[in-house]
Structure 1
């Protein structure tokens, strides 16, 4: 699936990510954890094409994608959400999710002007894909409310639906449980498991350790931009370097 070799990025004199070697386990829940400022979101920005690395190599599906920009990574099958939801708050749910499938459309300006059969076919496919994604995450595509009227938890589900509408192979979730209560977190855990059961590979960043230890198949730990451990949850919980850097620092479930 996706792997990185000696991956790094430097901003001036700051090495935000340095010398990371890592492979995403296909068909599983992969987690990236670490203290605030450890380089987790920067790592996601690198592997999704939002940042260009200053060192190292990224491969996806056997292809070198080290310099590939985000929109092309999305067409290859890498989708992501962000820690802070960025939605069109005034538009209905379905209209938001329709944006996710547009990267798969090939119609151009003349198709739009002439309302060609190709455009009509692609618009129909986009609506079907958006409706599927919303049903998948537990929301109704027929809900007419603007997204801004939804709860924070529901907006996070809309963000995941947008990612699924791109028809991804790998879904990157950046702190999906931030700002939601324990019951909502458990619902999100069920959704992530459902995603994996349906063939998606998931990689997530999260600070809720009970959630991570219960749902993850494989965990990588970053600290000061470097990988200090990786393995199964039980291995990570007992790793002295992790305990000293993170888990022993009064983590909250």
Structure 2
């Protein structure tokens, strides 16, 4: 039996009478790639805020493996093994791509360690592996400020992966990307399957088709369907919910 990496039990938040997320319960298995799908305003990002500690919930509980992380501080949740990538990247623009990854991967947060003293071979190997996975090996010695939008997003994803979180939350990872960049992002995320538990918040259906194993559909802050791509596309509730926004494409 597979272990549950992330368990949401009746999770919700009430903002002065407005239930942005209400009674959300789901279990994401260890190593699973889950897509959280919904139109704008469905509550996807708010739900990720509740899981990652950015917003305090007013109902329900969150478990990371067997550890309860409900309403803990963000840095404590991160230390427990939950990593999150936001839409806007935060990289060290003046450093090289490799240096960015080295700083992020440093097992010791001390200044000397970050300057390269005692940087273990295992960490160097991990950096090389992440450069390969994100397709940035040939650019490794270049300055991060010179990267394109898509490359910057891949570096940001790399900064998260190199820290080896147990669960990764990716918030609309293809926002603003070209079709080619979106396709490559799908390849990168597919490369994480099985090694990490990944939850992707998205509304680009073409992208979702490329990566989805299991999909959870949110509408007005509640789960209305869960299943594989075929089941979601056939689901009447999903079709009704999406009719107003032009249906699922």
Q: Determine if contact 1:137/1:191 at 8 Å carries over to the other structure.
A: yes
Which of 197, 204, 209 is 1:208 aligned to? 204
- Which contiguous aligned blocks of 4+ residues in structure 1 show a shift greater than 4 angstroms? 122-128
In structure 2, the CA distance between the partners of 1:123 and 1:3, relative to structure 1 (3 Å rule), is same
The reply to whether residue 144 of structure 1 matches residue 141 of structure 2 is: yes
Between the aligned partners of 1:100 and 1:250, the Cα distance in structure 2 is 41
* Alignment root-mean-square deviation, CA: 2.4
Q: TM-score, normalised by structure 1?
A: 0.86
The reply to whether residue 78 of structure 1 matches residue 82 of structure 2 is: yes
Partner of 2:220: 224
Q: How many residues align?
A: 243
By how many angstroms is 1:126 displaced?
4.9
Partner of 1:89: 93
Which deviations, in whole Å up to 9, do the C-alpha atoms of 1:120-177 show, x marking residues without a partner? Answer: 3357665554343223211128633332211111111101101111111211111111
Which of 128, 139, 151 is 1:154 aligned to? 151
Which deviations, in whole Å up to 9, do the C-alpha atoms of 1:85-141 show, x marking residues without a partner? Answer: 222333322333334334x4264xxxx5xx69xx93357665554343223211128
Instruction: Provide structure 1 residue ranges, at least 5 long, that are not aligned to the other structure.
Output: none
Instruction: Provide structure 2 residue ranges, at least 5 long, that are not aligned to the other structure.
Output: none
Between the aligned partners of 2:240 and 2:140, the Cα distance in structure 1 is 47
User: Higher helix fraction: Structure 1 or Structure 2?
Assistant: 1
**Any residues of structure 2 matched to 1:87-236 within 5 Å, and which?**
87-102=91-106, 104-105=107-108, 107=110, 112=111, 120-121=117-118, 126-140=123-137, 143-197=140-194, 199-236=195-232
Q: TM-score, normalised by structure 2?
A: 0.87
By how many angstroms is 1:178 displaced?
1.4
User: Which is further off, 52-61 or 205-214?
Assistant: 205-214
